[in-house]
Amino acid sequence: MDFLQRRLTLLIALLALVALSGCETTDNSIARNPTVPAASANSAQLRPGDSLTVTLQGVPDPSTNAVQIDDRSTITLPYIGVVDTSGATPGDLTQRIREAYISKKYYRTVDVSVSVTERYVYVGGEVARPGRIIWTPDLTVGKAIQSAGGFTLYAKETKVNLMRDQKAYDINVTAAQKKPEDDIHLMPGDSVQVPRSPF
């Protein structure tokens, strides 16, 4: 009987040790999120959905135009019509607009300024309100999900997908809630996708 009790005690101790080591491994695996590189130099480029203010001055009919870049990467302005914004920064677009007004002979000289009023990130998948969210310099993955109404009941919070510059990163939002310094800051044009948990 003593032999059986000793074996049972040893078996329980061994199972407890295995369970504790398993817990430690799990804790370590969610300790830190990956290092996500800052957006590349093309992050300054304008993107579909960006809201702009285009101001024309130094002409007989100065104007301020609020426009939004459409899904074809174009905007429409008075007299010159459609202007392509593909691959342009605000400075590049300023030059394109100036050249268009002068080459089409609407003005001989014109002062153009382009400023971005709103930029966006996109949040989809298992959140209450999927869609675009206005980007601010302090916006993180966790804050973007909160702005989208939070996770649904079926969300896999430990493997949220961040797309930046056509590369994907898995972000553990549960870990970021425990360590706010691990909550990844977003850049304009980033996309956050919350997958569905299989359970």
What pLDDT, on a 0 to 100 scale, did the predictor assign at position 166?
A: 83
CB under 8 Å to 178, separation ≥6 — which residues? none
User: What is the value of pTM for the model shown?
Assistant: 0.64
Residues 71 and 133 in one domain: no
Distance, in Å, from the CA atom of 112 to the CA atom of 109, rounded to the nearest integer, reads 10
How high is the pLDDT of residue 14?
62
**What is the domain extent for residue 59?**
43-118
Shared-domain flag, residues 124 and 105: no
What average pLDDT does range 109-125 have in this prediction? 93
101 and 133, same domain (yes or no): no
Interatomic CA distance for residues 24 and 137, integer angstroms:
35
How many domains, the chain? 2
pLDDT of residue 64: 95
User: What CATH number does residue 136 fall under?
Assistant: 3.10.560.10
Q: What is the mean pLDDT of the chain?
A: 85
Per the domain annotation, does 37 fall within a domain? no
pLDDT at 35: 72
Same domain, 124 and 198: yes
Q: Which of 59, 92, 118 is the last residue of a domain?
A: 118
What percentage of the chain exceeds 70 in pLDDT? 80
Residue 92 sits in a domain whose CATH number is 3.30.1950.10
pLDDT, tens digit (0-9, with 9 covering 90-100), for 46-100: 888 899 999 999 999 899 999 999 989 999 999 999 999 998 999 999 999 999 9
Do 93 and 139 lie in one domain? The reply is no
41 vs 75, residue with greater confidence: 75
In this predicted structure, what is the pLDDT of residue 165?
Answer: 80
pLDDT tops 70 at residue 196: yes
Q: Which of 118, 147, 178 is the last residue of a domain?
A: 118
Average pLDDT score over residue span 118-141: 93
Distance of CA 183 to the CA centre of its chain: 12
- 102 and 74 belong to one structural domain: yes
| pLDDT score at 182 | 84
Label residue 198 by pLDDT band (50, 70, 90): confident
Do 195 and 166 share a domain, yes or no?
A: yes
Look at residue 152 in the predicted model and tell me its pLDDT. 95
pLDDT tens-digit readout, 18-38: 555 544 434 444 457 767 766
Domain final residue, candidates 118, 136, 168:
118
Q: Are residues 111 and 125 in the same domain?
A: no
**Residues 106, 168 share a domain:** no
Task: Tell me: pLDDT of 39 over 60.
Answer: no
**57 and 90 part of one domain:** yes
Q: What is the pLDDT of residue 180?
A: 86
pLDDT tens column, 3-22: 667 766 666 766 665 555 54
